[in-house]
Structures are given as structure tokens and as C-alpha cells.
Structure 1
Amino acid sequence: MPISDPFEDFGDVAELARGLDANDPAVRRVAVLALAETADPEAVPALARAAADADPDVRRQAALSLGGFDGPETAAALAGALVDPDRAVAAAAAESLTELKDASAGRSLLPLAGHADAFVRAAALRALRSLRLPEALGPAVAALGDAEPAVRAQGVGVIAYLKREETLPSLIAAARDGDADVRRAAVGGLAFSHHASAVEAMAGALRDPDWSVRETAAEALGRAGTSESAEVLIAALADTTWQVRQKALRSLGRLKARRAVPTVIAALSDEMASLRKEAAAALGEIADPAARAGLEGLASDSDPDVRKTARWALERLAA
């Protein structure tokens, strides 16, 4: 297999761009690929032109290729491709938009958060999320009233990434949404706050009928880092779904909750190796000498990862 030379000259951008004028769409598509391979920001105008090509395959390839670039010009081209009548082109643009890192690029997306098409609204909000653009807060809050759950979930994502205390009422309300995906996003988004109302909402989500929401709540309570969460997390160790129990164990370890030690020790005998390992890790984080006998009992465990984690935990107790 040939080794790629990082200093290889992929060709002059202007020369490669001339391929976009060919009559054959296959040739134009190859030109798009060649332009993308240069990784030269000067290729962005040519790729933006290709994103408006008459052929949908060329437009789709251009939208995909723009994902390797950043900045306002890239965002503007992808915003145009996002509303393309061909759904494959729009889907490619939506994926590439998630690669944007330049916050100034987000300004091309703000108007699309109110677009008539729910797919466009959701994709625009999804791209705005990681850009943490303060101006996106208004459209994101408005999205919480959208008829489409996917749009509401992406609106929650934008709000959560901004991590503003004044948005807590909106996130708490979204944690009671009728759609599980929206509730899960909201509960996870609350983890940035130590406010009592946020902790109460996350704790309440441990009783959600959807196990994935409960799992997110168990993890979020550990990330929020409040010792008051220990009691509800201990109770979550009796959840019927193992994923919830696993995250509860991890969070109890993160919180170094000594009051949880007896219940966590009981989890060392769980039939699932992954939960025995998680319990051992939690006891190592808590580092309570009362866990020594239980951890020593894992010396002959059938799972090597459990044995390794137990040894690590015992070293933590001895430190």
C-alpha cells in the first residue's frame, strides 16, 4: 500500500477548478474530489460553486467535501445546500455542518433555525450547538415549542451547550417533554448546574418510564457533583435495567459517596462482569477501608478486567 506524502502537491486550485466547467457531470465530480484533496482554503469558493451544480451527485459530493473546511464562506455554502430539494444533498450538508468549529460561521445558520422544513431546522440547530453562539439562544428556546421532537431535542442541545443558569427553567421544562429523546437531552444538559432545581429534575428523571432517560439521569447526577445526589443514586442500584445501575455505580464513585459503600459492595457479586468491574472501580474511587474484604474476594473472579480493577481499587485503599 503506497504511503501518502504529506507534502505532495495535489495541483493548482485554479487549474483543478476548471474541471467544474466540463459538460460531463462525472468529470465535475472528480474535480470536486480533487479540490477537496488539496485541503487548501482557497478551494472553498470553487466547492461552493459546485454545491450549486445542476447535477445532484456533484452537489452532494461538494457538500460532503466542504466538511473538511471551516469558516463563514463554508457555512454559507452548506447552508444553501441544506435547503437543496434533493434530500441526499441536504443530508450531506447537514453532516458536514457538524464539522464547523469557527463560531462566526454560525451566523449563516441562525435564520435556518426558523425554516419551514423541520429537517432544516433540526440540522441548523445541531450545527449551532457546538459553536456555542450566544445569538443562538433565542432560536433554541423558541425551538422548545416546535411540533417536531427532533427540533425540540436539537434546541435543548444548543441551550445545554451554552451552560447559562438563566436557561434552567427551559431545560427543566424540557425534562418533562412528551418525547423521550427530548427528555434525555434535557436531563443530560442539566448536569452543568449545581442548582437545587436542576438536581431535583435530574433526580426525578431516575423515575422516568424510559430507561435511556434514567441512564442519562444517573450519569448526569455524577457529573453535577452534588453529594445530595447519593441517596437517589443508591436507590437507582435497584433499577431493572443494567445500564442505569452501571451509570449509578460510576456516579457514586465520582461523588466518593461513603454512605453508598455497603450497597456498592453488594454489587461486587452481580452476575454481570461489567457491573462487578464498575462496582470495584467505584469502591476504589471512594477508598473506604470497609470495602477491602469485598474487593479481595474478587481475586479469583472469572473476568480478568474485574480482577485488574479490584487490584487497582485495593491499591487505592492502601495509598
Structure 2
Amino acid sequence: MKRNVRHLVLAGLLLLPMGATAAPATAPLAMSGLAGAASINRTAPPSGEDPDNLVGEFIKYFKKYEDSATRVEAILALEDVEDAGVVRVLVPVLKLEDKDVVQAAVRVLSGFKTSEPIEAFLVALEEEKKEPTRLGLLRALAAGRYGGADKSLEKCLKDRRSWRVRRAGVLALAAGPSEGAAELIVKLAGDREPAVRCAVLDSLAERGSGLVLEPAAAGLDDAVWQVRASAISALARVRRTNSVPLLIAQMAREEGRLAADVAAALESLTGRAFGQRRELWERFWETYKERYEIPTDEELAKLLAAKKARAEEYSPPGAVSYHGISTPSRSILFVIDVSGSMENMVVEREKFAEGGYPSMQRLDIVKTELARTIERLEPYVKFNVIAFATKIEHWKKRQQKANALGRSSAADWVRNLEAIGGNSKETYSAVGLAGAANLEGGKTNTYGALMAALGIDPDPKSPRTGDYQIELDTIFFLSDGRPSTGQYIDSADILREFTAANATCKVVLHTIAIGEFRKQFMKDLAKANGGSFVDLGR
């Protein structure tokens, strides 16, 4: 029976994107002599025990396996083997190019419960020099939340050659149990790499550390918008009165999505719902600043309860709205599904009866709405459109100004889109003209489309082929079905990989679903990436 490699990797434990935390597999061990020790799990096998000689069998057979699925299965066979030999045989695996194999190795390395393999793991982290291997070890450290790694992590934080190692070190520290983590993390607040500066702010804010306030205030002046976004978010999450005037002043310097981020941060600090009306914020602060206190969580909840009722009154002019999701962004990408199933008719026709659509075909509905949205864009907005089925097609190679020419060209391009390999093409296939039907071309390459949206080519084996400092800050992603082709098909894999890639890009992803399929994946995508989800219906 053919094995699904990704289900093997994900069975029992979904590996989180770098920087997310999992339930601790272990705390640091008292008997190891490591800092912050805790007791051993007495139900685990005795340290050093490999009664079935699985490590020896792995050494004998792994190099003979050529297919990814068998390699993953062989690695996962080492789960629950509490032996330092597991570390010795899996550390070299971390430098391989097969991401599924590496993912499996990270999973096993993050699951130790006894002192011997954990100590061997920490020694490997201390001694390793190669970037891919160090990154894999740091991912495992973050997922396993092993203690006693401060010395090794300090070494990673000082790595001048690789910003990825420094960033991974920050995230591993933030995920772990070290009481001194915040003090170590904040030292990199002025790192030369923007992604590291973002990781510092995000990690300190996640821990609720007051040490984030000073670098966040400085980050408001950063030249890179992603760092400013992290700074704004940090001031909103670690709530202090002194942050209110800083954010009010910042509102005058931001536009588009970041101006909305500032308004949201102020609302989370104060419970007031003045949106992007800076004059109202200034008037509010001038009145209350001498005696103002940040509301408690209960008080804030009450203040925000009425926020939606006043939202439209304070919404910014020129906001873009697509299928009910509004954004003030000035750099937008629309990603639209043109796979074969988009040729199907909607079931709940009454929902769309007043829309003036050419037909009740799913694609006709979404094309019409997208063309209308494009035609309403303000000239200062930059935008692009991607259509995807099995392959990915861009309207333009880069973001375009929404001037008269751009709007007309894009709207015409969208209106001329057709579903690829749909039901109407099956007649060709039935009479032997499969090529004309192009049914293979009409599958749903969700992973490829999402990564292309970030400027990342999903085909190369390199973990990153794009620049995370992108101009784009907001994506609208519309699809009518489950992923069916591409490098990753399993929805959990796609969620993990896209969210990990977007951790440095910091793009807001809004998702829109139409049709009859399980839509939890689309909800999870939006939630994990700061966006909203809309279900248009069946």
C-alpha cells in the first residue's frame, strides 16, 4: 500500500511553525545538572534503553531507502527510543534537502523525556556548525521546550554568518522554560537583520515581558514596515499607559494597513473605537492623559463590546472591500481559484440572485465581484492578481498602480478568466481527447498559489527562494475546494508551511470560500495569518 508521507509526519503531533510553542515534552532535568531542572518522567523507558536495537537497524537500512515515505517511516520508528544514539543518527538527517524527512527528524528529536538523549541533543547543538543542521536542532529545541540550553543558544544568538540561526535562537529561547530568556532575547533588539528584530519584538510580546517596551518604541521609527508592524503589535499586547501617546503620534506617520494596525492597537489599549480618526485620539488623550489608567481586561471587554456598532462611523476613507472584508491596505494581492470545480453552479442561488451576475456559475460570481472591486480601487493603491489551478498565472509580474489603465487592464483580464478542466471539458475526455479536456490542469494547487503570493517559488528545494521584505501587505485568497495537487496537498502541511514562511513577511491573509467543501482549513489559514474568513455559501 502506498504510504502518505505527510500523514506519517503529522500523526500524533503537528509540528508547529518556527516560533510557535507546543506543550512541553519535558522540562529540564534535575539529575542532568542543567539549569532550571525538573523531575524525569518515571513512566518513560530507562535512559539509554533501546531493547529492540532500532538505532542499529536504522544505521543498517536507512541509507538504502530512496523514497521519501520509507525514509520518514524509518525515522518515526525511533520515536519513544530514549537513547543518545537516536541523536547521533538523526542529526546528520537535518541537512538533507527533503523537507518531509527533515520534518520527521525534528519531530523525533523534540520528543525526548529522559536525561541521556536530551544531554546528547544539547551537546550536538553546542558543537554543530552547519546552518541547515543548526536550524533543524533549534526547531526541535523550540518544539520540545528543553531547558538547559541557554549557553548553546547564546552562541547561536552571536552567529554573525547566519541571521536565520540568530532568529531561530530567539524563537527557541522564547519557547523554552528559561527564566532569563527575555534578558538574552532583548540583546538582539538592534540586530542588523529586520527579521531578527521582528522576532525579538514578537517573542518578548508573546512572553508579556516589559522589556519589549523600549525596543518597540524605537521600532516605530524603523525603515522596514515589517519591524514597525511588530513594534505596533508589541505595544498593543504588553499594555502600558505610556504607549498610548506613542501610538497616537505614530498614526500620523503611517498609512494603509499599518495605520489600521495603529488604530487597532490603540483600541486594545483603551477600549475606545475612534478608528483612524487621529484628531479624536488626540482630543481624547489631551483630556485624560493626566489621570488615565489602562483598563483591566474586564473593563476592556465591556468597552470593546460596543466597538462594532461604531466601526463604520470611524472607518477610513478609501478602504477596499472584497466580499464583505474591508482593508485600508495600499498594497493588495487578489488570488483567485480557476480550477475545474469553479465551473459548477452555486446551490444557494437565492443568496446571489440580486448580484447581477452573468450566470450562477461560481467563477462568474467571483470574477464579477473581483472586477467590480478592482474598478473601485483608489489610484494610490497598488495591486496584482493571481489565478491558479494546477499552474499559477499572474496578471503582472509585480504590484501595479491602480490608475485608470491598470484598473481597466486588470478588470478585463479577470473577466476573461475561464475554469480549467471543468465539467464542460469532460466530454472531450470521454471520447479520448484528455489533452483537450486538460483535466490534469484543472486541479487545485493551493500551496503553490499561496507561496507564489509571497514571491516564493515552491518548486526549488531551498527552504526560501524569496525576499521576505516585500511591498505587499494584504492578500485576499478565494477558493472553492480542497487542495488536490502541488508539493503539499494535506491542509495541515499547507497551513504549517505558509504560516512559517509568512512569519517574516507579515502579510495579512483574508480567505474567502465558495462551494461545498470542509472550510475549516480556510478559517485556520486566516486566523493564523491575521486575517478574516468569509463563507459565501454553497
Mark yes or no: TM-score above 0.5. yes
SS in 1 for 2:304: helix
Runs of 4+ in structure 1 over 6 Å off: 30-33
- Code of the aligned partner of 1:83: P
* Offset at residue 44 of structure 1 (A): 10
Q: Superposition pairs for residues 33-44 of structure 1, below 5 Å?
A: none
Q: 2:138 aligns with which of 103, 116, 125?
A: 125
- Structure 1 residue 177 displacement after superposition: 0.8
Higher helix share: 1
Contact 2:72 2:101 in 1 (8 A): yes
Query: Which residue is equivalent to 1:111?
Result: 123
Mapped to 1, the partners of 2:259 and 2:316 lie a distance apart of 21
Q: 1:288 to 1:69 in 2, by over 3 A?
A: same
Q: Give the superposition deviation at 1:129.
A: 0.9
Equivalent of 2:244 in 208, 216, 230: 230
Q: Per-residue deviation at 1:71?
A: 3.6
Shift of 1:75: 8.9
Matches within 5 A, 1:56-67: 57-58=66-67, 61-63=70-72, 66=75
1:121 Cα shift?
Answer: 1.2
TM-score by length of 2: 0.39
CA shift digits 1:144-199 (9 cap, x unpaired): 11122111111111111236553333222211111112111111111145555421
| CA distance in 1 between partners of 2:321 and 2:196 (Å) | 40
CA contact under 8 A between 2:153 and 2:173: conserved in structure 1? yes
Aligned residue type for 1:176: G
Query: Among residues 304, 310, 313, which one is paired with 1:294 in the alignment?
Result: 313
Work out whether residues 130 and 161 of structure 1, in 8 Å CA contact, stay in contact via their aligned partners in 2.
yes
In the TM superposition, what are the counterparts of 1:144-223 in structure 2 within 5 Å? 144-147=157-160, 148-162=162-176, 164=178, 166-192=180-206, 196-223=210-237
Change (3 A) 1:163 1:205: farther
Q: Cα deviation per residue 1:116-153 (whole Å; 9 max; x = unaligned)?
A: 21211121012101222111222112211112211111
Q: Which residue of 2 aligns with 1:83?
A: 92
SS of the residue corresponding to residue 63 of structure 2 reads coil
Give the match for residue 276 of structure 2: 264
Q: Distance in 1 between matches of 2:97 and 2:203?
A: 31
For normalisation by structure 1, the TM-score amounts to 0.61
What residue ranges of structure 1 are gaps of 5+ in the alignment? Answer: 1-9, 11-29, 268-281, 308-319
Q: Which residue of 1 aligns with 2:511?
A: none
RMSD (Å) for aligned C-alpha atoms? 4.7
Contact 2:55 2:78 in 1 (8 A): no
Query: How much has 1:210 moved relative to structure 2?
Result: 1.7
Deviation of 1:245 (Å) = 3.1
Alignment CA distance shift 1:110-1:46 (3 Å): closer
Query: How has the CA–CA distance of structure 1 residues 64 and 184 changed in structure 2, closer, same or farther, with 3 Å as cutoff?
Result: farther
Aligned counterpart in structure 1 of residue 156 of structure 2, from 140, 143, 153: 143
Which is richer in strand?
2
Counterpart contact for 1:71–1:102, Cα < 8 Å: yes
Tell me which amino acid in the other structure corresponds to 1:49.
Answer: F
Aligned to 2:123, what secondary structure does the other structure show?
A: helix
Query: Does the 8 A contact of 1:218 with 1:251 survive in 2?
Result: yes
Structure with bigger RCO (C-alpha 8 Å, 6+ apart): 2
